[in-house]
Structure 1
Amino acid sequence: MKNPSAPKKITWIIGLICGILGIIGHFADVKVLTEHNYTLLLIGFIVLAAGTTLKEV
């Protein structure tokens, strides 16, 4: 198993934004965000996991 590496800055920012939007959609009544809050959280987690697993992401 490879050692995890730090993701690129843009990958980290995209994952963070998706996660924050998912959390906002869970607690606030914003139609688009509320409908997709779990999807946004999942996408944010996958982006961050891929960023630490894959070297060039």
Structure 2
Amino acid sequence: MLGWAITFLVIALIAGVLGFGGIAAASAGIAKIIFYVFIILFVIAMIARAVRGKPPV
């Protein structure tokens, strides 16, 4: 999922450099949403692992 966020971020940067403002804004927005979802799922996974008694890696 982090790979998708980075992909959309790169698309946003390239589109911004080339002058496609709408596409750049949309791609940046999608990248932010995917990144936040990734962070939330990562934290949930770490909490679940700690509750089961395994130390975080």
Higher helix share: 2
TM-score category (smaller protein): 0.3 to 0.5
Q: Name which structure has the greater RCO, CA cutoff 8 Å, separation 6+.
A: 1
User: Structure 1 length as normaliser, TM-score?
Assistant: 0.43
User: Structure 2 length as normaliser, TM-score?
Assistant: 0.43
